Amino acid sequence: MEAGLSLGKTTKEVIKNFSSLIKQIKQNKKGEFFMTPGVVKEFLGFFEGEDLEKAKEFLSLITIESPDLNKTQFSSEIFKKIIEDIRARSYRGLNIAEEEIKESAKRFMNEKKLSEKDFQIKIGEFIRRFRERYRKATREGFLDSVADFEIIVLAKQKEGFLVSTDEGVINWGRIFGVKEMPALIFVKHLEFVLRSHQE
Is 5 a member of any domain? no
Give kind and range of the element (H or E) at residue 122: helix 116-138
Hey, which bits of the chain come out as E strands?
Answer: 34-35, 63-64
Residue 177 near residue 195, CB atoms below 8 Å? no
Q: Is there a single domain that holds both residue 50 and residue 91?
A: no
Long-range CB pairs of 16-22, under 8 A, 24+ apart, other chains included: 16/54, 18/58, 18/187, 19/54, 19/57, 19/58, 19/61, 21/187, 21/190, 21/191, 21/194, 22/58, 22/61, 22/62, 22/190
Q: Is there a single domain that holds both residue 130 and residue 154?
A: no
Number of domains in the chain: 2
Looking at the chain, the whole-number percentage of residues with pLDDT higher than 90 is: 23
Handedness of CA 166, 169, 174, 179 (dihedral sign): negative
Q: Is there a single domain that holds both residue 39 and residue 20?
A: yes
What is the spatial distance between Cα 101 and Cα 93, in angstroms, rounded to a whole number?
12
Q: Is there a single domain that holds both residue 39 and residue 60?
A: yes
- The model's pLDDT over 48-78, given as tens digits with 9 standing for 90+, comes to 887 888 888 899 999 999 999 888 888 878 8
Is 4 a member of any domain? no
The last residue of a domain, from among 88, 113, 138: 138
Backbone angles phi, psi at 81, to 5 degrees: -65, -40
Q: Is there a single domain that holds both residue 43 and residue 80?
A: no
Handedness of CA 168, 169, 170, 171 (dihedral sign): positive
Q: What is the pTM of this model?
A: 0.69
- The model's pLDDT over 70-121, given as tens digits with 9 standing for 90+, comes to 888 888 788 788 878 888 888 888 888 878 887 777 677 666 677 778 777 7
The last residue of a domain, from among 138, 154, 173: 138
Give the angle 119-111-94 at the CA atoms, nearest 5°: 65
Domain that holds residue 97: 76-138
Q: pLDDT band at 159, cuts 50/70/90?
A: very high
Q: Is there a single domain that holds both residue 122 and residue 158?
A: no
